[in-house]
Amino acid sequence: MATEFASKAAQVQSSEYPKNIGFALCALTSLFFMWGFITCLNDILIPYLKGAFQLSYTQAMLVQFCFFGAYVIVSIPAGNLVSKIGFQKGIVLGLFIAALGCVMFVPAAVVGLYEVFLLALFVLASGITVLQVSANPYVSALGKPETAPSRLTLTQAFNSLGTTIAPFFGAYLLFSTGQDSVSSGAEAVQAPYLLLAGVLGVLAIVFAALKLPKLVESQDELPKSTRPLTDHPHLILGAVGIFLYVGAEVSIGSFLVSFLHQPSIAGLNEAEAAKLIAYYWGGAMIGRFIGAAVMQKIAGGKVLAFNAVVSMCLIVFAVNQTGALAMWAMLAVGLFNSIMFPTIFSLAISGLGQDASRGSGLLCLAIVGGAIIPILQGLLADNIGLQGSFFLPAACYIFIAYFGLWGCHIKSTKETAQ
C-alpha cells in the first residue's frame, strides 16, 4: 500500500518545491531512521521481557507477532485514511499514534502484564505503518523525479543506521543496572520508551509546521487494470520470497541475544550480547552499499541467489559449531541479508506494467512474515532447542535462492495488458 501511493505520487507530483528542501529532506530521513531504530529495539526488548515475565520462546516471539501483524491489519485502512487526509497529515498522525504506543509502555510496566505490553507494541507498530504509507511518497516528491531513486537510497541507508544504533541504546537503558530482567521486573522499559515518545512527539510538531509539496492524488489520471495478480507467477513467488526473507531476518535478530548468551557460543550476559546485535544490522547497512555497486555488473537475481546460499551456509555452520566461530558466522548473516528485500521487490515487480501498484501492495502485505516465522522458530526452540531452531530461517533462504535463479524469470503465458 505504501509503495502504491509512492508510485502515484511519482506520476502526479507538484512541479513546485520549497526553495530550501534540505531541512525537509533531513526531517523525512529522520522518519526512516526512527522506524528502523524502533523495529530493531524489539530484538533487545524480547530477551528482556522473556526474563521479566518468565516466558517461553514462543510467548516471547509474540512481540514480533503483534508488531509485524500490524502491517497486515493496519496498512489498507491506513492507505484509505491517508488518501482522504493527505500525506503530510498522515505523517503527523502516524507519529502521534507511535508516540502513544511508546507512552503505553508506562502503564504496562506499572500493571506488570505482558498482554498490555503487546497492546502497546501493536499501537506503536500501527503508527509506524501509517508513517510508511505516508512518508515514502514525500521522499519521491521532494525534488526532481529523475533523482528520486538517490533520495530513497539515502533514506533507506538511514533506516539501517537506526537498526545499527538501537542495540547500544537498548542495551544501555535496559541492562545497565547490573540486574537481570528476572529480578528487576519490567520497570526499566519506561525510560527508553518515554524518551522515544518525546522524540516522536517533537517530530510530529515539526511535520505539522513544515510546508511540504502538495501532492494531487487523482485516481482518474492513473491507468487501471482489473487483471488478476495471479496472472503474474513471478510476482506471487516474489511475495513468498518477501514473506520468507522478512521472517528469516527478523527471526534471527530476535534470537541473537539468546544465542550469544549460551555458554557454548559466547557466554555473554544480556547487555554484552545486545550490543553485538549492532554487527548484524550494521552488516546489512554496509552490504547495501556493496551490493549496489556489485549489481551494476552482475544480474540482481544471481547476486540474490549467491547471498541466500551464503546466508544458509553461515547459519548451518553456526549451529554446528561453538565459540567465536559460531558467533561471528551468525552475525555475518546480516551482511548477506542486505540486498535481499529491495532485490526481491524489484524482480517481483518487473514487467507488471499497469499492475505495478497493486503488485507493490501485495509485496508490502507479505512483510507479515516478520510476525509468523519468529513464532514458528519459537515453537521449535521450545521443543528441539535454540540452536536447532535456526534451521527454520536457514530453510527460508533455499526458496529465496530459487527465486533469484529461476522463479523471477517465470512470466505469464497470457499477453501482457497494455
What is the average pLDDT score of the chain? 83
Domain with CATH 1.20.1250.20 in the chain: 22-209, 230-406
Alpha helices (H) in 295-368, listed in sequence order: 300-319, 323-337, 340-349, 356-365
In the predicted model, is pLDDT for residue 8 greater than 60? no
Q: How far is CA 413 from the centre of its chain?
A: 34
Distance CA 6, CA 11 (A): 9
152 phi and psi, to 5 degrees? -65, -40
Indicate the pLDDT class of residue 248, thresholds 50, 70 and 90.
very high
Q: What are 134-157's pLDDT values in tens digits?
A: 776 666 566 665 454 445 556 777
Asked whether 139 and 80 are in contact (CB, 8 A), the reply is no
Write the CA distances from 223 to 11, 185, 359, 380, integer angstroms.
11, 55, 14, 47
Distance CA 319, CA 389 (A): 9
22-209: what fold? Growth Hormone; Chain: A; (1.20.1250)
Concatenated DSSP letters for 233-249? HHHHHHHHHHHHHHHHH
Q: What are 190-227's pLDDT values in tens digits?
A: 888 999 999 999 999 988 988 766 654 444 444 556 67
Enter the C-alpha cell of residue 314: 553461515
Q: What are 313-344's pLDDT values in tens digits?
A: 999 999 999 999 999 999 999 999 988 988 88
* Cα 260-262-267 angle, rounded to 5 deg: 75
**pTM (two decimals):** 0.81
Amino acid in the structure at residue 302: K
CATH architecture entry for 230-406: Up-down Bundle (1.20)
Distance CA 211, CA 198 (A): 22
SS3 180: coil
Q: What are 28-78's pLDDT values in tens digits?
A: 788 888 988 999 999 989 988 998 899 999 999 999 999 999 988 988 788
The full length of the chain comes to: 418
SS3 385: coil
**Between 357 and 276, residue with greater pLDDT:** 276
Distance CA 26, CA 18 (A): 13
Asked whether 27 and 351 are in contact (CB, 8 A), the reply is no
